[in-house]
C-alpha cells in the first residue's frame, strides 16, 4: 500500500521522476526536435525563473494568486459544509433546492464568467467567485456522501447510549463523514488552482494566470513555463500542507488521505 512506503523511497521516487522529465526535456531541446520557441531548454526557463524571482515579480504574482485561492477556497468550504449538513438533515430542503444545485453543478464555472463579470465587475470578486464555484461542489458532495455513508451500526450504538438526534449527528455522523470530506477538500484545492488561471485570464493585472497570458502575448514561452511550474509546485505544496493538517487533526484517516488525489 502506498501510504506504507518509507519516506526515503518516496523522495527517491520523486527525484527519479523529476530527473527523468528534465533529462527528456533537455535531450529534446538539445537534439533540436522541437523549436526553442515552442519548448525552450531547461536552462532558459531556469534563467527566466531567477530573473522573475530576483525582481520580486514572481513572488508578487504568486502571492496575489494564493490570496485569491485562499479566500475563494475558504469561502467555498465554509458555505459547502453547513449546506451539506442542512441538506442531509432536511428532506424539504433537499426536495426544493437539490434540482437547482444539480443544474448548477453541470455548468462549468468558466462558462459563468461573463455573467459574473456583469454582476460582480472585473475586480477581485469575480475572480474569487470563479474559484468558489469550482471548489464548492467537491466539498459539498463529499460531505453529503460522507454523511450518507455514516455507519448505521455506530448510529445504533449512539441510540443505545441514549443520544438524541443532534448528538448522533455531532458525535457520530460528522466524524464518520470526515474521510469523504477530506477527499472533497483535497479535490477542491486542486480545482481551485485550475480555476485560478481561467479567472485571471480576463481583466487581470496580477497573478500567475496573468503572468502566463501576458508572457504568451509577448511570445515568452520560458516565462509561460515558469508560471505553469510555479502553479504546479504551489498546488502540490498546499495539498501537502492540507494533508499534514488533516493527519494531525484526524490521525485515524491515514489511508483515506492517500486515497484522495486532486
Task: Out of 51, 154, 201, 203, point to the residue binding other proteins (CB under 8 A).
Answer: 154
Q: Which is nearer to other proteins, 98 or 151 (CB)?
A: 151
Question: Minimal CA–CA distance to 226: which of 45, 25, 88, 91?
Answer: 45
Q: Does residue number 30 form part of the binding site for other proteins (CB under 8 A)? A: no
Cα separation, 74 vs 123, whole angstroms = 18
Task: Out of 45, 84, 135, 172, point to the residue binding other proteins (CB under 8 A).
Answer: 172
How many other CB atoms are there within 10 angstroms of residue 53's CB atom? 14
Task: Out of 38, 54, 162, 217, point to the residue binding other proteins (CB under 8 A).
Answer: 162
Q: Does residue number 165 form part of the binding site for other proteins (CB under 8 A)? A: no
Minimum distance from residue 146 beta carbon to other proteins (Å) = 13
x/- mask, other proteins, residues 103-142, rule CB under 8 A, reads ----------------------------------------
Residues that bind other proteins (rule: CB under 8 A) add up to a total of 17
Among 17-25, 28-36, 87-95, 163-171, the segment contacting other proteins (CB under 8 A): 163-171
Q: Does residue number 4 form part of the binding site for other proteins (CB under 8 A)? A: no
Give CA separation, 121 vs 71, 200, 214, in Å.
17, 13, 21
Q: Which is nearer to other proteins, 15 or 161 (CB)?
A: 161
C-alpha cell of residue 220: 515568452
Cα separation, 81 vs 257, whole angstroms = 18
Task: Out of 8, 153, 248, 261, point to the residue binding other proteins (CB under 8 A).
Answer: 153
Minimum distance from residue 179 beta carbon to other proteins (Å) = 10
Minimum distance from residue 156 beta carbon to other proteins (Å) = 6
Q: Does residue number 3 form part of the binding site for other proteins (CB under 8 A)? A: no
Task: Out of 45, 177, 178, 195, point to the residue binding other proteins (CB under 8 A).
Answer: 178
Amino acid at each position: 500500500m502506498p501510504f506504507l512506503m518509507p519516506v526515503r523511497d518516496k523522495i527517491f521516487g520523486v527525484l527519479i521522476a523529476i530527473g527523468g522529465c528534465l533529462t527528456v526535456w533537455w535531450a529534446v531541446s538539445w537534439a533540436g526536435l522541437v523549436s526553442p520557441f515552442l519548448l525552450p531548454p531547461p536552462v532558459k526557463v531556469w534563467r527566466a525563473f531567477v530573473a522573475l524571482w530576483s525582481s520580486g515579480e514572481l513572488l508578487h504574482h504568486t502571492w496575489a494568486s494564493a490570496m485569491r485561492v485562499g479566500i475563494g477556497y475558504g469561502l467555498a468550504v465554509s458555505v459547502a459544509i453547513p449546506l451539506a449538513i442542512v441538506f442531509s438533515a432536511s428532506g424539504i430542503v433537499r426536495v426544493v433546492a437539490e434540482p437547482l444545485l444539480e443544474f448548477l453543478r453541470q455548468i462549468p464555472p468558466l462558462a459563468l464568467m461573463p455573467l459574473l463579470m456583469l454582476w460582480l465587475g472585473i475586480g477581485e470578486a469575480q475572480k474569487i467567485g470563479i474559484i468558489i464555484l469550482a471548489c464548492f461542489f467537491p466539498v459539498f458532495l463529499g460531505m453529503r456522501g460522507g454523511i450518507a455513508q455514516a455507519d448505521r451500526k455506530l448510529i445504533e450504538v449512539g441510540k443505545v447510549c441514549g443520544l438524541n438526534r443532534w448528538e448522533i449527528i455531532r458525535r457520530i455522523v460528522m466524524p464518520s463523514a470526515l474521510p469523504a470530506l477530506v477527499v472533497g477538500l483535497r479535490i477542491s484545492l486542486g480545482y481551485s488552482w485550475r480555476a485560478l488561471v481561467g479567472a485571471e485570464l480576463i481583466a487581470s493585472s496580477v497573478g500567475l494566470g496573468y503572468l502566463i497570458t501576458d508572457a504568451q502575448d509577448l511570445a515568452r514561452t520560458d516565462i509561460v513555463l515558469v508560471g505553469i511550474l510555479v502553479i504546479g509546485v504551489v498546488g502540490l505544496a498546499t495539498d501537502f500542507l492540507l494533508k499534514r493538517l488533516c493527519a494531525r487533526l484526524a490521525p485515524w484517516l491515514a489511508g483515506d488521505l492517500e486515497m484522495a488525489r486532486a
